[in-house]
Structure 1
Amino acid sequence: MRTATLLAIGALAAAAAPVAAQTAPSVPAETLLSLSATGESTRVPDIAVISAGVVTQAVEARAALTANNSQMTRVVAALKKAGIADRDIQTSNINLNPQYTYEERKAPQLIGYQASNTVTVKLRKLASAGDVIDALVTQGANQVNGPSFGLDKPEEATNEARLDAVKKARTRADLYAGAAGMRVKRIVSITEGGGYQPPYPMPKMMVQRESADMAAAPPIEAGEVGTNVNVTVVFELQ
């Protein structure tokens, strides 16, 4: 009877052995390499964005706003006369603020009001950008910001940057694999980060109305704009 019991326990242990083996941690069969790379593409810009504004001051709020409206109407008319389409002219900011004078040990004194109105303009003919700015100032704009250059249709440049990013990642993967005595077998995944276009400064020009009448059209140099795309690529090595 005791012998039978021992045999039964031995059989149960033998049956349990494969289950214990199945729960042991598994070792991945493949070697993975994850790399990030940035692809770049440059183009000559075909659009420029500027903002043009009118700032007026008066003792009464309505007078400041009325003068501003009249001046801004001439500015917008000058844009349209220069061939700028309605879709490329957008009001971006309107302000009316009280103006105070401050003296020591005295309460602030209201001295008038300042009104401002700003439009954002997209220029599609860069060769005429200087003439457009000159026309704006001639018609009453006393604030000009920009230009900021870009691409109207950036898809082609973005795709070129994507190809460059993947090519850089693959070159680097071959380098690492060779150093480890392996080779790249395949790409497991590709993840794209956000496309990025380096910001270009928009210098602010405060134009005095008296001297603006005698000023020539400012020279505009477009240079180049760049588009960057970041990708993360996972490679399988063997």
Structure 2
Amino acid sequence: MNRYLLATVLTASSFISTSLMAADVSFPHIETTGIGEIVTSPDMAVFSVQVSEIRKSAKDAKSAVDKVIAAFNKRLEDEGVARIDIESTNITLRPEYQYKKDSKPELIGYRANRNVNVTVRDLAKLNSYLDGALGDGINSITHIKLKVSDESKFIEQARQAAILDAKEKAASLAKGFGENVGGVWKITYRTSPRPTLMRSMEMDSSANIESTYQDAKIIIRDQVDVVFRLED
């Protein structure tokens, strides 16, 4: 049968890959892009805090920061956070100078900085951890990221939804043109994108954190490009 049918399906949020569009396919076929999307609620979080202190000597600056970090870590552990879920970065020390016009820079002390990343596995406790951090002497909450613990399960669900979407599109198109879908000739899959939030969780300590994270939803998407043969 001397015929050639090419159907390309695009969605508003994705495009068929260059390699798929450039494929030299000489037999009747349909190309589709399947999109899968799963919306779920976060059940855990990771937040980062920072301690910054300035003292006359580097030793005193380091000691001040270490004291705050020790108190913060102890409180978290007392409240049930596993030690493995508390990650403290290395301390940084640098001299601080005062600059005045027409004079040499004057050394006024040394600044010590240290960050701590905390994984929260009980989302209901996140807000109390954040409030406690500021009470422990933490200078700022620099980052909050909501997550879902069983991420791989939802990624697999999104992937299977994308595969089904590609099949359904191909079957619908073939039916509309009076054709039948045969086997799969080519599958193009790219690494699935990381889960995203419906709203930004980049905030400082002045934000209404509790209401924001409780209302948030996580979107997990996946995509697959498929070339289907058409039956002769």
2:228 matched residue in structure 1: 235
| 1:155 maps to 2:148 | no
- Counterpart of 1:115? 112
Structure 1 Cα separation of the partners of residues 106 and 28 of structure 2: 75
Match for 2:171 among 170, 174, 178? 174
**Alignment of 1:219 onto 2:210:** yes
Q: CA deviation at 1:89?
A: 0.8
Q: Deviations over 1:158-187 (max 9, x none)?
A: 111011111221222234324544221122
Aligned to 1:103: 100
**TM-score normalised by length of structure 2:** 0.78
Gaps of 5+ in 2: 1-24
Q: Which runs of 4+ in 1 moved over 6 A?
A: none
Give me the whole-angstrom Cα distance separating, in 2, the residues matched to 1:46 and 1:177. 42
Q: Percent of aligned pairs with the same residue? A: 26
> 1:132: how far off?
1.1
2:78 is matched with: 81
Report the aligned-residue RMSD.
2.4
Partner of 1:203: 202
Q: CA offset at residue 204 of structure 1?
A: 4.1
Alpha carbons of structure 1 residues 191 and 93: separation in structure 2 relative to 1, 3 Å: farther
1:206 and 1:130, CA in 2 relative to 1: closer, same or farther beyond 3 A? closer
Q: Is the 8 A contact 1:142 1:206 kept in 2?
A: no
Q: CA deviation at 1:202?
A: 4.3
SS in 2 for 1:195: coil
Summarize deviations over 1:90-136 as a string: whole Å, max 9, x none.
12353212222223344433222111111110101111111111112
Q: Structure 1 residues 93, 190: closer, same or farther in 2, change over 3 A?
A: farther
Letter of the 2:210 partner, please give it: P
TM-score normalized with structure 1 length: 0.76
Unaligned 5+ runs, structure 1: 1-27, 208-216
Q: Which has the higher helix share?
A: 1
Bigger Cα Rg: 1
Question: Would you say the 8 A contact 1:54–1:142 is kept in 2?
Answer: yes
Whole-Å Cα distance in 2 between the matches of residues 107 and 141 of structure 1? Answer: 33
Residue in 1 that maps onto 2:42: 45
